[in-house]
Structure formats: structure tokens, C-alpha cells
């Protein structure tokens, strides 16, 4: 069994530094928009709650925050089982006419979750829906049903592995881990390939 240090894919110090830098990228992108529009932030529950809380404390813009909940990894599943939006567990207004929205999610895997949320928010009248994710699995973003799987802001590109910690879970456990760690499909600890983690350069096509 790997040691605790060997299970860590991204340590807490690196996460904190990158989230602060990513907030700077988001703020700079918003600063260039005409009229200095207010941001409507939509964190995706429950996985993105820690990431979103840390990110927004570095954003200077005027904002509103509305939560949305979806389910794509039910129970102990380690691959997406499709996306279900839960209207009973969201406070996103039905009318978003003219709003500039930033969706904040924990991980872009197949891309189905983000595509479904973006389509729903545009249907509610949002003028623009930008996207921000903590983690992206580039080799998994190939889902034909999701269409174009572009995301505006990415903290880290990671290898194809099931990850937990910093809000991400396995069967609702491990969200409280301060580092991002790797699990096997059965939930057992795994050795992480930390060298494979990449920070996408600012301005790189995503």
C-alpha cells in the first residue's frame, strides 16, 4: 500500500497558490468586459464548495452566488453515470436574462455535467456562461454527446485517475482531505503520479 505521501496528487500548498493565481485570471478576464458587469457565480454542489469558497475570496468583482446540484457519480461509482440536475436543490433563478454567469465545478471529466449546466443556464436567459474548473482530465474530454468541451479557466490538468479531497468525494467520504489524493476503482488508496499534473498556460486554447 502506498504511503500517505505517495497518495497525494496535488498538495494543499500547491492548490492554494494555484487557486489564487486562477482567481487573478478570472478577474482579469472579467475586467475587460464592457460595462463592468456583475458576475453571477454558480458553484456546482457538492464537490466544488471548497474550491468555490477559496476562489471567490480572491475575486474583487461585485457578485451574486447561486448554488446548483447535479449527480453524475452516484454512490461508489468512479466513472460518470450520466447527469441529473436536481431542481429542488438549487437556488438559481429561473430568469437569468442579461446575467453574466460563471459556473464553478470541481472536475471536468466526460464534460457532460458542464455541458448540461451551461445549456440549462443559457435556456434561462443568461447573456453569457463562462466556466471554471479545478481539475480537468484532458484524455477523458471526448464525449460526443457533450458537444464542444471547452472550458474558460482550468486550475490543473490531471491524469486519468479517480481523485478525492479538497471537496471531491468517494461515496460522500474524503471531502475533508486538504490534499488531492488518488483512489483505485474499489476505493482503496493508490500511488499518485504527481509529475503528470500540469498547469495550463494562460491563454492556451481550452
State which H helix or E strand residue 206 sits in.
none
- Which pairing describes strands 39-45 and 68-71: parallel, antiparallel, or unpaired? parallel
Give which of 102, 18, 26, 96 is closest to 60, Cα–Cα: 26
Q: Rounded to whole angstroms, how far apart are CA atoms 113 and 83?
A: 6
186 is catalytic: no
Q: Name 100's Cβ contacts closer than 8 Å, sequence gap at least 6.
A: 30, 33, 37, 38, 39, 40, 126, 127, 128, 130
Residues near 108 by beta carbon (within 8 Å), at least 6 away in sequence: 114, 133, 135, 136, 137, 141, 149, 151, 154
Active-site choice (109, 143, 157, 186): 109
- List active site positions: 109
Amino acid at each position: 500500500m502506498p504511503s500517505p505521501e505517495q497518495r497525494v496528487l496535488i498538495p494543499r500548498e500547491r492548490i492554494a497558490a494555484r487557486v489564487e493565481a486562477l482567481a487573478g485570471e478570472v478577474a482579469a478576464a472579467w475586467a475587460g468586459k464592457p460595462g463592468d458587469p456583475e458576475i453571477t457565480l454558480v458553484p456546482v454542489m457538492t464537490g466544488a464548495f471548497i474550491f468555490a469558497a477559496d476562489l471567490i475570496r480572491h475575486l474583487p468583482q461585485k457578485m451574486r452566488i447561486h448554488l446548483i446540484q447535479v449527480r453524475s457519480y452516484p454512490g461508489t461509482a468512479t466513472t460518470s453515470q450520466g447527469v441529473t440536475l436536481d431542481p429542488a436543490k438549487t437556488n438559481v433563478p429561473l430568469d437569468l436574462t442579461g446575467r453574466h454567469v460563471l459556473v464553478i465545478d470541481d472536475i471536468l471529466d466526460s464534460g457532460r455535467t458542464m455541458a448540461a449546466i451551461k445549456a440549462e443556464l443559457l435556456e434561462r436567459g443568461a447573456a453569457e456562461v463562462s466556466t471554471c474548473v479545478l481539475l480537468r482530465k484532458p484524455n477523458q474530454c471526448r464525449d460526443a454527446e457533450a458537444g464542444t468541451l471547452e472550458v474558460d479557466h482550468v486550475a490543473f490538468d490531471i491524469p486519468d485517475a479517480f481523485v478525492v479531497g479538497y471537496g471531491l468525494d468517494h461515496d460522500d467520504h474524503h471531502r475533508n482531505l486538504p490534499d488531492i489524493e488518488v483512489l483505485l476503482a474499489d476505493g482503496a488508496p493508490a500511488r499518485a503520479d504527481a509529475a503528470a499534473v500540469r498547469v495550463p498556460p494562460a491563454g492556451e486554447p481550452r
